[in-house]
Amino acid sequence: MKNQLTHAIEDYLKAIYALSVEGEAASTTALAAELNIAPASVTGMLKRLAETTPPLVEYRKHRGANLTPDGERAALEVIRHHRLLETYLHQSLGFPWEDVHEEACRLEHVISEAFEERIDAVLGHPTHDPHGDPIPSPNLVMPQEASIPLSTLRPPQVTTIQRVNANDADLLRYLDEKSLVPGSKLEVRAFSPFDGNLTISIEGAEMVVGPAITHHIFVEEED
Amino acid sequence: MKNQLTHAIEDYLKAIYALSVEGEAASTTALAAELNIAPASVTGMLKRLAETTPPLVEYRKHRGANLTPDGERAALEVIRHHRLLETYLHQSLGFPWEDVHEEACRLEHVISEAFEERIDAVLGHPTHDPHGDPIPSPNLVMPQEASIPLSTLRPPQVTTIQRVNANDADLLRYLDEKSLVPGSKLEVRAFSPFDGNLTISIEGAEMVVGPAITHHIFVEEED
DNA sequence: ACACTAATTTAGGCAAGACTAAACTTTATT
DNA sequence: AATAAAGTTTAGTCTTGCCTAAATTAGTGT
């Protein structure tokens, strides 16, 4: 008997999950920014989420919110939907990389477990979405993976892109064009300490990328 | 600049479309029954729909509602989504016949035009959904088709099932089992004037079906 | 310890969409 | 034509989720 969560609530849970790294509580303002909602509205919703049965978040005034185990399970369910959908839209329906996020954001709240299972099967039980994010398992365990921002690498270094952390469609389109996608191998050739630019070589081509880009690209952790 | 319709509004438009056959207005109670909503709530919504810009329905007190051209276009868009989705869920994702309706009801409000186009293409631009209902064209013209209830046939007669008009999952599962699906050929062998039962032969097997079933099955019109 | 700022909460409102109960039309029946 | 039944509308209420403006709390530097 899982009670039916609204779209709005699912979005809150997803946002709290995303913002509470390392067990740190997600702040009201950070949530407001993430959700494009006024901070006051977030306060109101957090109170409600803390008083549902079962409670989905743990909330302390002025101290932000954490997910309860129930809340986390619900969040992971939505994230699993989201990432499976992104993968499906891209692989099976030929959606461009940069468009899958928005579409998945709407569909994730609406698909049934049967739908989830079908696309999971059709895709062959994928482990990562097109952006390289891990897909929680059917029993809702989030694989833990270590990766570091490309911006932290110093030459000389060879590595592989693991994950691209961006939702902006224009940026994603650009990255795709330059093969800056999960799985691509690249070599870090030079670093400019003044502006943080890296000179990298990828797919045989050499290019210079600034922090606005390298910050969003995550690569294998070093040995 | 198409204004964003809510989920609820799309359901109203769909229901009004379904109930206003032959230009007759859909009554408040009929809509309430169709939508599982109290009649009073329907009245309120109809008033709102008649006063939006542009108006989506034409509403006269105690006289029910009709769709305006704008409303009809919106309704057809949703119906196109619904029927394409049903077809897709069944053909491409292997959903059982009886489950596609419910899933499509939720997805229809949420998919983008890009999604619509992709599944339409993948399916090869289908003209009918799994229940035999025609799919409106991309420019939102509803194909007009003539078919008559199986219940009106009298032996001896050979015909083909065109359309199955039912949403109840149990009934659909039963019909599927007995091959009472669009495309099946059948022969009407006998008619009982007392209870309206028909004896038919389908796929080599003979069976007796009552009005509760024959009423939902539509076959080719006679020459 | 004090004051200033940034973050947060409270209070009060609003729109969408639904409900019930009561009042009122329309239609059907006699 | 009178009246009962059926269908519809009105009035008033509720919940969800959002908003703004004002009040409060926490955190920071002096």
- ipTM for this prediction: 0.90
Cis before A69 (ω within 30): no
- Distance between the alpha carbon (CA) of A18 and the C1' atom of C4, Å: 32
Q: Which residues of A touch B (CB under 8 A)?
A: 89, 93-95, 99, 103, 106-107, 110-112, 114-115, 118-119, 122
Q: Which amino acid is at A201?
A: S
Q: Say if CB B164 and CB B90 are below 8 A apart.
A: no
Which residue among A94, A106, A115 sits closest to B103, beta carbon to beta carbon?
Answer: A115
Contact residues on chain B for A106, CB-CB shorter than 8 A: 110-112
* pLDDT at position A149 over 90: yes
pLDDT at B2: 64
Mean pLDDT of chain A: 95
Average pLDDT for A105-117: 98
Residues in chain A within 8 Å Cβ distance of B118: 93-95
CB-based contact B107 A112, cutoff 8 Å: no
- The angle, 0 to 180 degrees and rounded to 10, between the axes of the packed helices A28-35 and A7-19 is 120
pLDDT tens for each residue of B24-70:
999 999 999 999 999 999 999 999 999 998 999 999 999 999 999 99
Per residue in B69-82, pLDDT (tens digit) is 999 999 999 999 99
Q: What is the mean pLDDT of residues A77-82?
A: 98
Chain B residues touching chain A at CB-CB below 8 Å: 89, 93-95, 99, 103, 106-107, 110-112, 114-115, 118-119, 122
Above 80 in pLDDT, residue A175?
Answer: yes
Nearest Cα to Cα of residue B213 among B129, B132, B150: B150
pLDDT tens figures, B165-219: 998 999 999 999 999 999 999 999 999 999 999 999 998 899 999 999 999 999 9
- Interface test mutation site (partner A, options B88, B106, B116, B123, max chain A beta carbons within 10 A): B106
B106-128 confidence digits (pLDDT tens): 999 999 999 999 999 999 999 99
Q: What percent of chain B has pLDDT over 90?
A: 92
Average pLDDT, chain B: 95
Q: Which of B95, B106, B114 sits opposite A110 (nearest CB)?
A: B106
pTM: 0.92
Scored b (16 or more CB within 10 A) or e, B80-89 reads: bbbbbbbbbb
More confident site: A155 or B209: B209
Chain B interface disruption, residue of A106, A113, A116, A123, most B CBs within 10 A: A106
The number of residues in chain A equals 223
pLDDT tens digits along A4-18: 899 999 999 999 999
Nearest CA to A162 among A177, A180, A135, A141? A180
Residues in chain B: 223
